[in-house]
Structure 1
Amino acid sequence: MTQEGKSRRWLTAITRGSLSVPARQALLDRQILLDDAVFDYGCGRGEDVRALRHLGCEATGWDPFYEPDVQLKPASVVLLTYVLNVIEDPVERRHTLQSAWNLAGKVLIASARLSWERSKVNGQEFGDGLLTRRKTFQHLYGANELRTYVEEITGVRAVSAAPGIIYAFKTDSDRLSYLARRIVADDEWLASSDTATAVAALIDHVERRGRPPRLEEVPHLTAQLLAHLSPVEVRRLVRESADSAKVSEGARRTTLNTLLFLAVELFNGRGPFTSLPPTVQLDIRAFFSSYKEACRRADRLLLKLRDDAYVRGAMSASNVGKLTPTALYVHRRAVDRMPTVLRLYEHCASIAAGRPQAWTVVKLCHRGRAVSWLDYPEFDRDPHPRLLTSYQVNLETFETSHQSYAGRSNRPLLHRKHEFLYPDDPEAPKYRRLTEAEVKAGLYAYPHLIGTEAGWESELARCQRALRGHRLVRTRD
């Protein structure tokens, strides 16, 4: 420790050369918009501040060592990036979080290092953390511990945006709008440049949503291009041009998405009807007899997650993903095709402990309640992609675990890639042909051997086969 009795916190401020992971996540989630005022509380060397200014944000930052003279001031968005984990005094830690929260006008974005990084920190036990040889301190959080801690200090429901990144919103409306965007990913409008394209965008929205939009839902430019048409003419165009089958399917999908949203909302803390995003309010009015009825159905859906038989039945009935004796594995492209209760399963885990930015396949256990996001970065290029990372959330204990396979010489790999996708995925036929050729060649005769790189290479040699992209060829002895 230093003479002042504090660790050398300034030594933890690293030089990245780019935006931090939390700031980048907030931009992707539209929690930082280009006209937002952003205050970086504990900004270190100020790299996020400079990068956000370059993007057009009104960004400023304060740091007790690097920028001590900057005035603390309120801002729409406040960043508290990897600050909580370097403060060795629990009382000061709480005060820091409270101070950052008091400055936030819309949302506080808090991040910290997580407990799975223990092997990267060379230090001795000190207080509730570790003191390194450089006299820096690290308190490593469990993913759910960090979210709970932020909720305790701020007094609001928080959401895990990604592992170790927490959003705490000032209003329920902003929190629920964020959740709605995570759940309903197809709410974007087609671009419009003239009346014809504006009408096409309107028809597309009706077919996807299952109902005509209200004026406040229509993008400003599209509304201007349609302004010369009377409401009667617009309704006639929709009635004559929209595909009725697509409208019916859109209505079904929107109804299920609304139930999913309301169930996730209950899991994270339900607010009054008026706090819901306007579009969700309109969906409820269009497809349910009342908000009470919609909530009742959503509550039943959430209760189904506790029913092992129901969850296993949903997995068996699903036409997407690979079902094993213990879990269902589904590719990222097919997740939205899962039954609603399974989508809810995945969303609850992501809100509790964060969904990682990089993942390819989600694993939903039906023995117990655990969700894993598996990253196979070469899934489409490699006929048998190797596992890079695994992040698991146990929904019964909210404990998390993280595994990296980057440095291993015998990594797990995938077979039968088409089974992880939905049947009409454009890549599925190519993957299916490869699987059929491998089965015919006898490569799956000993399934217990082929789950890792070494075992798979051994079986390829035994069967005198090699891979050329997604083609199986014969080799010489």
Structure 2
Amino acid sequence: MQQMWGSERRRTAISRAALSVPARQALADRQLPPERTVLDYGCGRGDDVRALEQLDCRVVGWDPYYRSDAPLVVSDVVLLTYVLNVIEDPAERRETLQRAWELASTLLVVSARLTWEKSKVRGQDFGDGLLTSRQTFQHLYGAGELREYVEQITGARVVAAAPGVVYAFRDEGARLSYLAQRVVPDAQWLASQDTASAVSAVVDFVERRGRAPRLEEMPRTVAEFVTHFKPGQLKRLVRDAADDQKVAEGAKQSTLNTLLYLAVELFNGRGPFGSLPVSLQQDVRTFFSSYREACQRADRLLLKLRDDGYIRNAMNASRAGKMTPTALYVHQRALERIPTVLRLYEHCASIAAGRPEQWTVTKLKHQGRAVSWLHYPDFDTDPHPRILFSYMVDLKTLQASHTSYANSGNRPLLHRKHEFLAPDDPDVPRYRRLTEAEMRAGLYERPHLIGTEDGWEAELLRCGRQLRGHRLVRRTGTHE
């Protein structure tokens, strides 16, 4: 194994002050619980191993140069972090991925550098990549290429967790549970200290989900307080306490979420009913006549993604987001408020090529099929936030591209922030007041000039205005 990994590859092992993006993603996705064993295969200097140890993970690291004496044992989760891209021999690359898959009993997390990072890599063409001046190699992957490559070698259905990070699951049920977690996040149960608060927690679940929970869906702290009820007794208590309107709304939302999940699942490979997470099985039983009917309705929803007219109408009817001549822009906080077919649109792109770890606004094109995630780090504090980066996935080609504005001296910025949110968002009144003040001051009279920092600042000067937080005031030293 030492010979298979070229000696110069050790130079690609960087020191990290924090967890790598793949390890952080797996942790955020709850794929590294304390009971699982973790192997960092090709761990380099071992920074992820040390950081995960501090988080009480049962982790070991192996590396052909830095930790060649560490034992290689089958583990629940194997991290193959930025290893494949530094191997210049395609046969060795394949063998390394196969070996990592053999060592993973539950999940293999694979990450690699992507083609949009080419500007950061200086070198000359060598094989299917670049040879740098330090005699290191880099094969940069397309987002879709990495997922397809891991699927080809492992034979597993692979899910893109983030740009350049994919998950290959051993167990189909685990893959479906992960998809369900992304599409229908687990609801937070109310805390329970006694029987009364446990019943209140069940009532809250019924109002949000539109149906009663099964015992195995309940947290132990709730289940322990309600198991003594006779059959039908808890049902009557909950029925009398629940708000019928909230239950109806919860049922509607659960129906739509189930369709969304089944449509996303088909995009990535649908399994039998018994493989679904327990909560989704119960949703199907409650809100549909059969699993077949639910799947048929989900298939029709997926087909509607191809209908330009239907997508445009859905965008026009959306209760959240800003509609432009080419796309719908929606803030992260409002994403669940857009029509289900548009949520499916965004989810398909995220499953195919990965959703960035950080983003603020998603852009859904209605001319063509492409999704962009735009990051405005200061959206909440800056009245006209500047963009940091955009990550775009073309759903027709599954090609992804990344544009960074970190070093730009004249970045694009946002106006009319309230339009990106849902109407009942608590920040909307404040943002709308600012927009109205800017309109009265004449700042939007030349819309072609205000889309960038320099143009916006020039218009503020022309109109004799300046911003103090989310307030527009007269510029010091100017008079009307």
Same fold (TM over 0.5): yes
Contact map agreement 1:7 1:137 (CA 8 A) in 2 = no
* In 2, Cα distance between equivalents of 1:407 and 1:363: 23
* In 1, Cα distance between equivalents of 2:18 and 2:395: 34
Cross-structure match for 2:151: 151
Matches within 5 A, 1:372-391: 372-391=372-391
Q: What is the CA deviation profile of residues 421-475 of structure 1, one whole-angstrom value per residue up to 9, with x for unaligned ones? A: 0000000000001001111111000100000000001111111111111111112
Equivalent position SS for 1:108: strand
More displaced 10-residue stretch of structure 1: 97-106 or 187-196: 187-196
The runs of 5 or more residues in structure 2 that have no matched partner are none
Q: What is the CA deviation profile of residues 345-384 of structure 1, one whole-angstrom value per residue up to 9, with x for unaligned ones? A: 0000000000001100000000000000000000010000
* In 2, Cα distance between equivalents of 1:258 and 1:187: 14
Contact map agreement 2:449 2:455 (CA 8 A) in 1 = yes
* In 1, Cα distance between equivalents of 2:242 and 2:377: 39
* In 1, Cα distance between equivalents of 2:404 and 2:193: 47
Matches within 5 A, 1:35-50: 35-50=35-50
* In 2, Cα distance between equivalents of 1:7 and 1:452: 48
Q: What is the CA deviation profile of residues 37-78 of structure 1, one whole-angstrom value per residue up to 9, with x for unaligned ones? A: 001111111121222222212111111111111221111101
Cross-structure match for 1:341: 341
Matches within 5 A, 1:165-204: 165-204=165-204
Contact map agreement 2:130 2:138 (CA 8 A) in 1 = yes
Cross-structure match for 1:467: 467
Describe the shift of the 1:223–1:80 C-alpha distance in structure 2 as closer, same or farther (beyond 3 A).
same
* In 2, Cα distance between equivalents of 1:130 and 1:468: 49
Contact map agreement 2:79 2:108 (CA 8 A) in 1 = yes
Contact map agreement 2:5 2:64 (CA 8 A) in 1 = no
Cross-structure match for 1:142: 142
Equivalent position SS for 2:384: coil
More displaced 10-residue stretch of structure 1: 439-448 or 53-62: 53-62
RMSD over aligned Cα atoms: 1.2
Contact map agreement 2:5 2:87 (CA 8 A) in 1 = no
1:4 CA drift (Å)? 9.4
Aligned AA for 2:368?
G
Aligned AA for 1:262?
L
The runs of 5 or more residues in structure 1 that have no matched partner are none
Cross-structure match for 2:58: 58
Describe the shift of the 1:456–1:227 C-alpha distance in structure 2 as closer, same or farther (beyond 3 A).
same
1:228 CA drift (Å)? 3.0
**1:430 corresponds to 2:430:** yes
1:116 CA drift (Å)? 0.8
* In 2, Cα distance between equivalents of 1:178 and 1:449: 45
Matches within 5 A, 1:284-433: 284-433=284-433
* In 1, Cα distance between equivalents of 2:13 and 2:45: 6
Contact map agreement 1:260 1:344 (CA 8 A) in 2 = yes
Aligned AA for 1:91?
A
Describe the shift of the 1:82–1:266 C-alpha distance in structure 2 as closer, same or farther (beyond 3 A).
same
Contact map agreement 1:35 1:56 (CA 8 A) in 2 = no
Cross-structure match for 2:267: 267
Contact map agreement 1:84 1:93 (CA 8 A) in 2 = yes
* In 2, Cα distance between equivalents of 1:248 and 1:310: 26
Equivalent position SS for 1:125: strand
Contact map agreement 1:410 1:453 (CA 8 A) in 2 = yes
Aligned AA for 1:430?
R
Cross-structure match for 2:213: 213
Cross-structure match for 2:113: 113
Equivalent position SS for 2:197: helix
TM-score (normalizing by structure 2)? 0.97
1:262 CA drift (Å)? 0.2
